[in-house]
Structure 1
Amino acid sequence: MPYVQGVSEKVCRFLNRAGVKTYYSRSKKLRDILSHPKDPQPKDHGPCVYSIPCSCGEQYIGQTKRPLQVRLNEHKKATENKKIEKSALAEHACKEGHEPIWDDSKSLVQVPHKGTRHIREALEIRTNENTTINRMDGKKISRMWNSLSYHGKS
């Protein structure tokens, strides 16, 4: 609890009699509020689950631990070079003659933890009606999660 001279001591004694340990925290200082030494990272900078729409109305959903632009460039290169084994999106574009809409690609949600990111990818694939480009449904998770829709939430 925050320390307030004259009050905190009385509260501490009362709580100690009840068997509750108390710890004090310092209040925020002006420096804490104003000082931000690092610039905030853009939404597509780090690990995320992302979507890439196609001209046919379907979309590809994937996950990456790297900046989204790096992963998008890999998908683009695989599509341009017709390396269908490298990307399900490249396979779809080459076999069907469709064009991914790169400019509408977006990060759906930032998820730093690998395991959680794989689960979130699987849930996004399951809950999105227009996701048929993916080769797999993502990580195998219980069907009881089907009723949960995370689409559009962070």
Structure 2
Amino acid sequence: MSSGAYARSQRRRLNAVAVFVALLRADLNKVLERVTTAETYITGLQSTSKKFEDQVRSLTAEHGQLAVRLEDQEERAWRNNIRVVGVPEGVEGLSFELFMETLITDYLRPKRLSTFFTVEWTHRAPVHPLSLGGPQVQFWGQ
């Protein structure tokens, strides 16, 4: 083989290697582009996830505060209600509020009551069904 033929042969091989390297670079650039796209997408998901985590923490704290407020309100409601048992039906006349106010003020004397004292009828429902002829259960609160 002459030196000219050998040189051409080597150039062809070198060109083949150069083409192969160019193809590898193109493939590598495609992979790099896909990795960059995936990283950008993952970063966006992490940012969104962080926002949701913060929102869950905030809502959990708010839920705790609301639960405490609800419990407090329920306890206050129970403290401001009085159950009256044994008042015969019809004894209150036309106004149960007036009847209870008279009953309480006559019993406690006005000097013991706050100036904010008032009687309001909130509802009237027995806890369980009453037996025939049993006393009427009435609820009222201030």
Q: Classify the TM-score, shorter chain.
A: under 0.3
TM-score normalised by the chain length of structure 1:
0.21
Instruction: Determine which structure has the larger helix proportion and give its number.
Output: 2
**In terms of Rg, which structure is larger?**
2
